[in-house]
Structure 1
């Protein structure tokens, strides 16, 4: 419903009333203007915008009532004139003259007598005041409340604020530009951090870490690493010292003979490193008396933390497996689909499969046999509280469509986190758009699309559809 419909309805007779265009219309337009601003601010129940909207609304309706009263007076005067009544009596009734200030009060004429009369009345009024402590305390409380009500901020004049509106819009535009600039810089920083992490990981491509090797006093780390690899892995041909660039322990030495530090082994060539790393399972000796040794890639701090969190989910039974391959982080979901991941959000989207105790649920797409489709498991999620499936109809596969068409079915339960869902949806739609394709999205999102003004997550969901 528009603002003009919410304020008031008038018939044609009222619109032709004298004074309507000069008195009512300006107040009405001002009230509609501030009502629209109040709606744009999502209808707050307090603050300066609400006070201005309420003030202009009251002034508008006061003007309407005053105009109606004047019209009633005019009609009354006209009826008296038609009935040949005393017209001047009616005029005096409509416009009473100002009375002269009386020179006497209840018979006394002198100033002293009037003052004495006033003093007597004041004394009787003073003595009528209660003297009971409880009543006095109640009176004090009422005075305090009335004094606090006087501290309410004064209403601003609508005309003055209307003149400030262009400046407010300009300031909002500047703030919006700065917000966009900050968002662009944050995105750029994230991209640079990701690029630096990729570069650092590339510099570690010839290295790996050997864990579980006992640390001895005054040891020679290169000799320990070379001997351990040749002895436990039985390499053929054996590894020689020229193939190793550098070997040393990682981290500070533990006090009191604690956990043994890992050996960081850097090879001279990637080929030598790969020859050893592909046979890492031979480190697991069948002899129970031998120490258990582990060979892992030398990952950056960021990737090590992500892999540790993914393996923690594996222990909880929320994913099938997680590992690294040439610095790339991979995980396998419970439905045996392998996905790369670069952030904790991507891990959580792939984790938490449907429990075996759960009955029902799931999303599906039925496809005719004569249609050629491409499956996209990387866009599909099988989550305990969020599910989706996506397929692709290649260009020209249906109705000579000139672009590829992605079809997705999504289900979001009512209790699922709004921010996580909107972030997932934005990432999926941006991936599809970067491929130059269109998308048809279906499903049950559990959003009330009629409450976009009052419910911020619903508004964000609609905004994400136009990313």
Structure 2
């Protein structure tokens, strides 16, 4: 590839060769006739040629210094541009992460709204008979503890996997929010039975509720509960706050 600096390099090399040639001439003159180095001095060397050589070398040094400075300045400018572009990309990534987090929270909130009329009933000892459905078995077991329900109160009822051992866990979707609230208000009948009625929380809210229970056990908050799919905590100064993120919970706990 042709470079605009090629003529300059050729002239610099030629000046270097002339300098080396005249240096050998001067060395040959100083060493005298006994020197074994053959004389390379031109016959027409003039006294002013040495000054011309010095001047050429000085000009060469100035030119090279200017060229190096220009190249360094260009490199510095390119580095500044690269750093500026890096900062822009970093800012764009941070803004993207913020948007993604907001969308994830929005999607989780919508999913929690979809689960508003659902309950997780755990600790049920179910003994299925011929033709019995999960809903019928759950209603019969709850009636043993004084909780009255009708089949029409239930939209669907699913038996969740439990590995085939221990009490059953049931996902129950109720007809409406009023029915769910009425059922939860009867949870006092289940005291001491090891049967629990809980909101069907999303994974994010379930993790927040689990962390809140740990903080209560550690004595960093006064109390915690889940009410209508919302995680509530009572701080050490007896203030009740709704928790929507783990970061908020960590800040409250100190």
Calculate the TM-score normalised by the size of structure 2: 0.69
Question: Shift of the alpha carbon at 1:318?
Answer: 1.8
- Counterpart position of 1:231: 144
Query: Residue 101 and residue 270 in structure 1: after superposition, are their counterparts in 2 closer, same or farther (change >3 A)?
Result: same
Query: Residue 168 and residue 211 in structure 1: after superposition, are their counterparts in 2 closer, same or farther (change >3 A)?
Result: same
SS in 2 for 1:336: coil
Runs of 5+ in structure 1 lacking a partner?
Answer: 1-98, 113-155, 286-290, 352-382, 384-467
- The equivalent position to 1:284 in structure 2, one of 191, 197, 201, is 191
Alpha-carbon distance in structure 2 between the residues aligned to 1:171 and 1:220: 67
Asked if structure 2 preserves the Cα contact closer than 8 Å seen for 1:209 and 1:265, the reply is yes
Q: What is the Cα-based RMSD across aligned positions, in Å?
A: 2.6
- Counterpart position of 1:139: none
Alpha-carbon distance in structure 2 between the residues aligned to 1:101 and 1:191: 82
- The equivalent position to 1:240 in structure 2, one of 146, 150, 171, is 150
Task: Output aligned runs, 1:34-73, within 5 Å.
Answer: none
Query: Residue 223 and residue 166 in structure 1: after superposition, are their counterparts in 2 closer, same or farther (change >3 A)?
Result: same
Asked if structure 1 preserves the Cα contact closer than 8 Å seen for 2:126 and 2:141, the reply is no
Does residue 344 of the first structure (1) align with residue 235 of the second (2)? Answer: no
- The equivalent position to 1:264 in structure 2, one of 171, 193, 204, is 171
Question: Shift of the alpha carbon at 1:342?
Answer: 2.1
Task: Output aligned runs, 1:175-190, within 5 Å.
Answer: 175-190=86-101
SS in 2 for 1:233: coil
* Structure showing greater Rg: 2
Asked if structure 2 preserves the Cα contact closer than 8 Å seen for 1:103 and 1:109, the reply is no
- Counterpart position of 1:304: 206
Question: Shift of the alpha carbon at 1:164?
Answer: 3.3
Asked if structure 2 preserves the Cα contact closer than 8 Å seen for 1:210 and 1:265, the reply is yes
SS in 2 for 1:209: strand
1:110-159, Cα deviation, whole Å (9 max, x unpaired): 529xxxxxxxxxxxxxxxxxxxxxxxxxxxxxxxxxxxxxxxxxxx9443
- Counterpart position of 1:334: 236
Asked if structure 2 preserves the Cα contact closer than 8 Å seen for 1:233 and 1:280, the reply is no
SS in 2 for 1:305: helix
Question: Shift of the alpha carbon at 1:338?
Answer: 1.4
- Counterpart position of 2:27: 101
Does residue 160 of the first structure (1) align with residue 71 of the second (2)? Answer: yes
Question: Shift of the alpha carbon at 1:300?
Answer: 0.6
Task: Output aligned runs, 1:389-400, within 5 Å.
Answer: none
Alpha-carbon distance in structure 1 between the residues aligned to 2:118 and 2:143: 17
- The equivalent position to 2:112 in structure 1, one of 201, 208, 214, is 201
Does residue 322 of the first structure (1) align with residue 207 of the second (2)? Answer: no
Question: Shift of the alpha carbon at 1:189?
Answer: 0.8
Structure in which a larger fraction of residues adopt helix: 2
Q: Which structure 1 residue ranges, 4+ long, deviate > 4 Å from structure 2? A: 102-105
SS in 1 for 2:232: strand
Runs of 5+ in structure 2 lacking a partner?
Answer: 1-24, 38-66
Question: Shift of the alpha carbon at 1:343?
Answer: 2.2
Alpha-carbon distance in structure 1 between the residues aligned to 2:134 and 2:68: 81
1:337-392, Cα deviation, whole Å (9 max, x unpaired): 112222222222211xxxxxxxxxxxxxxxxxxxxxxxxxxxxxxx4xxxxxxxxx
Alpha-carbon distance in structure 1 between the residues aligned to 2:113 and 2:234: 24
Question: Shift of the alpha carbon at 1:214?
Answer: 1.2
Alpha-carbon distance in structure 1 between the residues aligned to 2:102 and 2:71: 47
Alpha-carbon distance in structure 1 between the residues aligned to 2:191 and 2:228: 21
- The equivalent position to 2:181 in structure 1, one of 274, 289, 303, is 274
Higher relative contact order (CA 8 A, sep 6+): 2
Query: Residue 172 and residue 104 in structure 1: after superposition, are their counterparts in 2 closer, same or farther (change >3 A)?
Result: closer
Query: Residue 260 and residue 157 in structure 1: after superposition, are their counterparts in 2 closer, same or farther (change >3 A)?
Result: farther
Does 170-179 or 326-335 show the bigger shift? 170-179
